[in-house]
Amino acid sequence: MTCFSCLFGWRVASSTKRTVEMDEEVSGIQNVNFYTYKELRIATEEFSPANKIGEGGFGSVYKGRLKNGTIAAIKVLSAESRQGVREFLTELNVISDIEHENLVKLYGCCAEENHRILVYGYVENNSIAQTLLGLSQGYLAPEYAVRGQVTRNADIYSFGVLLLEIVSGRGNTNMGLPVKEQYLLQMVHSSYLSQT
């Protein structure tokens, strides 16, 4: 019985310590609401498949109605991400300070137990690629397209392609152009080689 009470006491102390650490981390984040898992479960009608609006390597996205009536995109991060609370909150702190007319607004998050959920403003038209380029098919990094891997390199590569698309004002592929200009990355690389 003594062993059980010691083990139970250790679990309570460990849980309390994590809660205190979490509270300290959370207190540093200014522009973000914190939602409970229960609130987000209710908002999405128990994460109903009927409310699922997207899925990617990092998790599933659901359309939901928050308590105040706001429609939101609720992104449930994959359990395989292995991102701890501290890393999640640090990333959240950085995201929460960014505001731009062309970026979706971050409303808040849930970091309860092993749940990592981001709550964004809801935007019609399904995806940024479809909104910006009117394409029925958005973009996949080579690592994800070939092997199904989601890596930091894939994120950097995708971000680079996005920047090239913004600067050039065109999508990464356009079969209506002459052969040498159809693929944006190939065209930029050729231009770079001719400059060096």
d(CA 43, CA 67): 7
Q: Shortest CA distance to 76 belongs to which of 104, 51, 105?
A: 51
Chain position carrying tokens 């038209």: 125
Give 33-67 pLDDT, tens digit per residue. Answer: 899 999 999 999 999 999 998 886 678 899 999 99
d(CA 76, CA 57): 11
Give 145-170 pLDDT, tens digit per residue. Answer: 666 666 777 777 778 888 888 888 88
CATH of the structural domain 25-124, one choice from 1.10.3720.10, 3.30.56.10, 3.30.200.20, 3.40.50.10140: 3.30.200.20
Quick one: pLDDT at residue 193? 87
Quick one: pLDDT at residue 119? 93
Q: Where in the chain is the domain with CATH 3.30.200.20?
A: 25-124
- In this structure, are residues 180 and 190 in contact, taking their beta carbons and an 8 Å threshold? yes
Residues of the chain with pLDDT > 90, as a percent, come to 18
Quick one: pLDDT at residue 7? 43
Q: What angle do CA 126, 129, 133 make, to 5 degrees?
A: 115
Most distant CA pair in the chain: distance in Å? Answer: 79
Give 102-123 pLDDT, tens digit per residue. Answer: 667 889 899 888 888 989 888 8
67 is in an annotated binding site: no
- Two tokens at 76? 């449930």
Q: Count CB neighbours of 116 within 10 A.
A: 25
Residue 26 pLDDT > 60: no
Q: Shortest CA distance to 25 belongs to which of 74, 81, 78, 93?
A: 93
